[in-house]
Amino acid sequence: MNGGFILRQFFDISLPITEEMVVYPRKPRPSIKRYASVPRDKVNESILTMGSHTGTHVESKLHLRNGRESTADLPLDHFYGKCRVFDLTLVESEIHSQDLEEFEIGPEEIVLLKTRNSALGYVKFLENYVHLKMDAAEYLVNAGIKTLGFDYLSIKKPDGDDEVRELLINNTTLFLGLNLAGIPEGEYTFVGLPLRIDTDGAPARVILIKE
């Protein structure tokens, strides 16, 4: 509090969308093409083409099974609320349940996992990105969290451990592609708003607020 005003810090932890951005292997790169330009036209307008799981995005059950809920069906209260950022930057490769037990995670929490992925950045695709193993996923689901955020384009092992992704998508709202570099461990207010698209995944703008 300063002179009656609450001081807040805002952190944008979503990735900028560019044609050069890192995408998961074999996924389409974004295309941003100007179709109207000033001064030839009265306005500047562009066509944006991108995959539904590009950059910072949210996953839905429709991603894994036909006829399941889409991103438009995700609970709105999973997009906002108090959250905790957990520092797991010392984990070399695989996150296991014992890496999470010290945090005493409770029901209906929003949890963001900060790993060395954020420090390595999104300059090129990481072949050996840190990922969750099944025991860690089960620990989070059994704790009853409502939303999970992770600092890479996938939360499971490359080309394996599909059951990890399925368990988390079926039991939490999953945000991927977060950039937590420079974000200290601690408590924040989470605001993650995906586009309202009736599909398997949707780009999202995600911010953290520190009071």
Show pLDDT as tens, one digit a residue, over the chain (211 residues). Answer: 556 667 899 999 999 999 999 999 999 999 999 999 999 999 999 999 999 999 999 999 999 899 899 999 999 999 999 999 999 999 999 999 999 999 999 999 999 999 999 999 999 999 999 999 999 999 999 999 999 999 999 999 998 999 999 999 999 999 999 999 999 999 999 999 999 999 999 999 999 999 8
Q: Nearest 10 degrees: CA dihedral of 101, 107, 110, 112?
A: 10
How high is the pLDDT of residue 2?
58
How high is the pLDDT of residue 1?
52
Contact 185, 114 (CB under 8 A): yes
How high is the pLDDT of residue 103?
94
CA nearest 148: which of 180, 181, 184?
Answer: 180
Cis peptide before 25 (omega within 30 of 0): no
Give the homologous superfamily in CATH for domain 9-15+52-210: Putative cyclase (3.50.30.50)
**Structural domain boundaries in the chain:** 9-15+52-210
Match 């080309």 to its residue by tokens: 159
Output the six-digit token pair for 201.
């995944």
